[in-house]
Structure 1
């Protein structure tokens, strides 16, 4: 059984700091998922540099299949030494998940991860390896569908220290909180926001340390296909529509011309809805057999802006507006893990001077921005041009 990894992370900066001393990097393809959370020594600019170097080095090496020993050795010999403490120090948590759900975890001086399965916290068996004087905890175990892994920086276990709580939020307290307040139907983003929001409250909105929460959830893949723009060769219209209709998953059409092509090939009508009137976003349409029909450039651009907000948002209420851009953003974020873009490259004179090269097309630009934003949210993207 092949799983997709739903992933989300978010951070609170230490009060008074513009940069976060924690860093999360992740990568995934059809075969593997890798995430690294690093916490740099101290806070501010120096911590940010240490954490960023650690996370990026570790992720790059792990992607290439190098061992944890090589990663740790490289990090130790690469990090700049702090002039005040005479140390080059950054903690990390590394998680690798194969498509069959086999997980590998390596931790160095970060709080231990939380493994939630059916609303129970599962105990993880660890073994300890010493690499260049650093004690690294390692574990391997199998995930099943809807299992959740939560990993955090030490700002989470310090939440509330000296304010609401004398000794901070202990690991066992966080374990209890997750067990009582999460369920297997929550998304990774929801779990992340829930825990980070609790930390913010304990800190009374003035975090005493950089605080980061990252969440991994094993889910079954959900696919979508998005068609926008007429193909250069009109003879390809029928092939494109057949491809759309053969997709098992969400079917999305963006753009008036694309909508007319699909309706014509299906021998259906495009019906426009005026239930929601928005001066900035054109109305949506309906075609039988298609899940969502929207206008093109304006709606795609606005949907991209909405999806960018998702990355750092602690409340996703803005995703549930009824305009076309919100519907598009919500469908792409919540209802699919894999998105195939079918992009026609014929130039629409309404968007572009037809004498300009295709690379400068506004339509192609906004679709590329949407693709990049979805990739940044952890979606697997495939693009076909016609």
Structure 2
């Protein structure tokens, strides 16, 4: 019995690629057809970019779906999902489009297949406007595993803007259903570590400069902790030239936070290091348990989980509100956001929020 497709307005709230990723993944998992209109309507280049197109094709491939309207620049698409297929799937942005965003859309789908899936994702591993692969491995992966997600990720080749050429192999095990997660106790920050890298023809000194500037910046605010940021030269497993840094803070209760930045032509290495450090500091000033980027990436897992999840965050981002909006439209999940009355909000830092979700308890029918 084919129900009418669920209509998703691609221009609401954040109005970007995230609406596509969350709605396509949930369409695939729930079996509901979707029609997404006004895709990226407010952007300088509206409609689908190579990045979004390869993500949609990957999901359609994963769920043996019928995808219509999927061309570069298209503002309207529809997806009619079939059965989720395990096995091998490849997606190639053919640009520096982010492999991490491809993983974001594909991972939830692969969890609901009948057996394990192998994904070969090609594009940028360390690209602007997207998580760096190091973030996906060091922050996203350990936290999402708390939901019962199990995946392995092998970085075969790093790729940077504008050439791309990176490749990541991911294997995902299926789940019967996801378990809810409660992350409300931050504890204290116990360690700070990271990596600053240069790849291709860029001099090693850049990596050391990014490191030093980052450590100096963090030291102004956090005096007592040992900070270990490694400077690395990537020779063999990098395609093209790039430089960047990611710094991770861990708390006593296992919460993870990150700050990262990528080098660009004409930007001093110091500035890149400082930018990453300031982002990290901003994300640990509140007493939340996730940083601003993990916040929205966990919404789909909370929505699918079997039970009530609660996550303490800093200010709720527009990306998160967007993911919640789409998740509530396509599943039975119910979200509530409440401001915490925590002791820290009195000292002038903006307090924290609890995002609570009664998950839809979606079950894997193929297992």
For this structure pair, what is the TM-score category when the shorter chain's length is used for normalisation? under 0.3
Relative to the length of structure 1, the TM-score reads: 0.26
